[in-house]
Structure 1
Amino acid sequence: MRTRPTTATAAAAALTATAALLLTGCGGSDSEDSGKDKIAGADTGASASASPSLSSSDDGIERPEVSLPEGDNLIFAPETTGDAKADAVLKDNAEYLRSIDEAIGKQNPKSEAVAFYSKDSAYLGSVEWISGFVKDGVTVTGTVRYFDRKVSFSKDGSAGLVYCADESKGYTKDVKTGKVNVTEASKDSYVLYNDRLRKNDKGVWQTTKSTSDRGSEVCQP
């Protein structure tokens, strides 16, 4: 299994209850994060320099090209909902997750793509997480499935995204030897995430905060 950075593990119990409502279609908007959680010096994503490799997307925004490590596969369900605003959130959050895996594959904690799609505590947590892989000399491989992705919007303009991750077929791999560290699937292979996103002046929905609950009953098969 694999894990992702988390910035508010103490809120796991409250997250589980809130996310369960959202995943069953009963949730409302969450406005608890109204900009109060910003960390001094962490506003990197909004002003990050452009990646040397850029491509224009359908919305006209020049985005960094993100390529996953060899053997790595990320699945997102649903990819779209039919609602343009919600779909933009889903798309940018997916690119954020893909950029983290790309940075791990390249052993590059200072990835400009990660900075493009995140800021504040989410960005800092991502850098720390990627650095851990570099220190351990491992990359990622296998398949991780992100499912039951639900978007809600708050009055302050931010978006909440609750979803599950199935890491039962996602593994780490030694960079030097290429050996895959295969682990057996367990309850902890399933993770509940709650992300907060804000649209920057470029029109990109950056992930600003992320909490997780590994082994959540909500995400069990």
Structure 2
Amino acid sequence: MRAPIALVAVCVTTSTALLLSGCGGSKKQDKIQQTVSGSPSTSATASASPSTSAAAAGRPTITFPSDAHDVFEDQHTGDATKDAILADNAQWVESMDDAVFQGKADTKALTFYGVGMGYQKALPYIHGFLGKGKSWTGTVRFFDRKATLLSPGNAAVIYCSDESKAFPKDRKSGKVEHTAGSSDDYVLYNTDLKKNAQGVWQTDNVTSYRGAKQCQP
């Protein structure tokens, strides 16, 4: 899995929130509230490199290396608002990985899609890779994604990730660490989002639960 590189201390539980693509805390550390329910979506979409959903005017372009992929399922719900929420959730996830690939945390995309505690909780994830001279390679799948509109400008997204096909990679040598798979490859996330004046759904808080049974096959 890609994420044992760092986030043990930073994955703290909040009322409705998450830390991205890989909060590496203990299995029992980050129990997540599951009070948000959304209509199940019906179709799956995979992100491209660069990300195709970043094409809207004013949105930063996110480009992944050819050997790394984030794949997002359940993008189309039939509800335009929920689809927009899920699309910006995916961009926030990709913005964190984009920062890892760029080797810096002050990227335009990260500050565009993450604000408040959402941005703050992304930093240990990013520095966890960079501090050890690591990046990652492979594919991370995000599934069972459900968006709930809490008010006209507030929403929540709950989803799972599967990191079993992604691995740490040394930034200099390119050597890949093919770690053994385990239940820790599956992470449950809960995020809070707020809509800004430009209509972007920005992530402003997050919690995660690594090894969540709900996300395991």
Same fold by TM-score, threshold 0.5 exceeded?
Answer: yes
Classify 1:159/1:167 alpha carbon distance in 2 versus 1 (closer, same or farther; 3 Å).
Answer: same
Q: In the superposition, relative to structure 1, how do residues 217 and 24 fare at CA in structure 2: closer, same or farther (>3 Å)?
A: farther
- Is the Cα contact below 8 Å between 2:32 and 2:207 reproduced in 1? no
- CA drift of 1:56 comes to 5.1
- Provide the identity percentage: 40
Which of residues 22, 35, 40 is equivalent to 1:18? 35
Q: What residue ranges of structure 2 are gaps of 5+ in the alignment?
A: 16-29, 41-53
1:182 partner SS? coil
Shift of 1:156: 6.5
Contact kept in structure 1, 2:32 and 2:209, CA below 8 Å? no
| Residue 207 (str. 1) matches residue 186 (str. 2) | no
Higher helix share: 1
Q: Aligned runs of 1:88-107 on 2, under 5 Å?
A: 88-107=84-103
Q: Which structure: larger Rg?
A: 1
Aligned equivalents of 2:55 and 2:171: distance in 1? 32
AA matched with 2:144: D
CA RMSD of aligned residues (A): 2.1
How far apart are the structure 1 equivalents of 2:105 and 2:147?
A: 28
Q: Which runs of 4+ in 1 moved over 6 A?
A: none
In the alignment, what sits opposite 2:12? 8
After superposition, the Cα gap between the structure-2 partners of 1:92 and 1:24, relative to the gap in structure 1 and judged at 3 Å, is closer
The TM-score normalised by the length of structure 1 is: 0.77
Alignment partner of 1:166 is 2:170: no
Contact 2:39 2:77 survives alignment (8 Å): no
1:55-74 correspondence to structure 2 within 5 Å: 57=56, 61-74=57-70
Describe the superposition over 1:19-73 as per-residue Cα deviations: whole angstroms up to 9, x where unpaired: 6xx3796xxxxxxxxxxxxxxxxxxxxxxxxxxxxx752xxx4100000133101
Q: How is 1:1-221 mapped onto 2 (pairs within 5 angstroms)?
A: 1-3=1-3, 7-9=11-13, 12-15=30-33, 17-18=34-35, 22=37, 57=56, 61-155=57-151, 157-221=153-217
Aligned residues: 186
Structure 2 counterpart of 1:111, which letter?
T
Residue 79 of structure 1 aligns to a residue whose secondary structure is strand
1:89: Cα distance to partner? 0.6
Q: Does structure 2 retain, via aligned residues, the 8 Å contact 1:167–1:189?
A: yes
How far apart, in 2, do the equivalents of 1:216 and 1:188 lie? 8
